[in-house]
Amino acid sequence: MSQDSFSRCHPAVNFLYFVTVIGFGVVIQHPAYAIAGFLGASLYYLLLKGRQGLSFIGSMAGMLVLITLLNPLINTSGEHILFRLFGRPYTLEAMAYGAALGVIFALTMIWFGCYSEVLTSDKFTALFGNLIPALSLLLVMVLRLIPSFTRKTKQIIVARSAIGKGADATESRKDQIKSGISIVSALTDWALEGSIVTADSMRARGYGCAKRTNFHIYCFRKSDAFLVGLIALLAALVLALGGTEAGFTPYFYCDYVTLGFPAYCALLLVPSIMYLREAIVWNNLKFET
């Protein structure tokens, strides 16, 4: 399968879903909700990326641990002092708050990774091209910078290695720094030249001279309407049933989990369930043939 079932939905459905889960993930600091959000995001990301996604999730887990350990060095609030470091209290409550912040950071980054895989630039342009044409084009260009820069950096490194100017681990630190500066310089030149070519190309095609018409292949179907209703219903249940309040400093408190938590878990699993359902049907069809 080149795309999963959720990715083939209307861009409005994809955008609504990611805005909802990322918004809940950032706002809700309840430990149960945060852990569920991290697991739900990780599951869908692994389904999309396969084994390649393990390294990214592992790096996010490392950042989680780092934030957990560093937060008590900044925030000294809390009743239970574990030990003192440089005369400053290292408290259990601040450590728990750092863990919550780390989980929120990790799940947000993983959801954005899923977002970049599902809501591609053509979908974003089709969704917002008529409403905010200039801003939508700017956002698309900004979002594609990181992967483009990554690919071009690898190309420059390979090209320099082919002519004997690669940064070898045996070289001195000074030579490695010089090599890195040369790569950054070449990358900057490529980016500036590319921006000029893009601007000239857009000007030659008359971009911004008059109102544009556009074409896209996306149509809003009954299944899309059902998903919008389902997302709205589950989000409303989470908001209405409550049980999402939690605090960490100066003392720890946490609401009891209500029926809003199963609704939140169901919301997190919507794309994963769609992916697994399609995979099961696809494999059954292959075995039947």
What are the residue ranges spanned by the domains of the chain?
11-125+219-288, 131-204
Going by C-alpha positions, the residue among 120, 121, 126, 122 that lies closest to residue 212 is 126
Under 8 Å between Cβ of 260 and 244: yes
* The pLDDT of residue 242: 80
SS3 32: helix
Q: Is the pLDDT of residue 2 over 50?
A: no
Percent of the chain with pLDDT over 90: 30
Give 204's pLDDT tier (boundaries 50, 70, 90). confident
pLDDT in tens, 237-266: 999 988 888 888 777 888 888 888 999 999
Mean pLDDT computed over 274-284: 86
Average pLDDT over all residues of the chain = 84
- The values of phi and psi at residue 85, to 5°, are -125, 115
Give the orientation angle of helix 270-288 with respect to helix 31-49, to 10 degrees: 30
Going by C-alpha positions, the residue among 231, 208, 279 that lies closest to residue 47 is 279
Give 134's pLDDT tier (boundaries 50, 70, 90). low
Going by C-alpha positions, the residue among 186, 179, 185 that lies closest to residue 164 is 179
Hey, which of 90-104, 186-200, 275-289 has the most confident mean pLDDT? 90-104
Q: Cα–Cα distance between 20 and 29 in angstroms, integer?
A: 15
pTM of the model: 0.73
* The pLDDT of residue 1: 43
Under 8 Å between Cβ of 118 and 7: yes
pLDDT in tens, 73-84: 888 887 888 888
Under 8 Å between Cβ of 212 and 133: yes
Mean pLDDT computed over 182-196: 83
- Would you tell me how many other CB atoms lie within 10 Å of the CB of residue 240? 11
Q: Which residues contact 15 (CB under 8 A, 6 or more apart)?
A: 119, 124, 127
Q: Is the pLDDT of residue 273 over 90?
A: yes
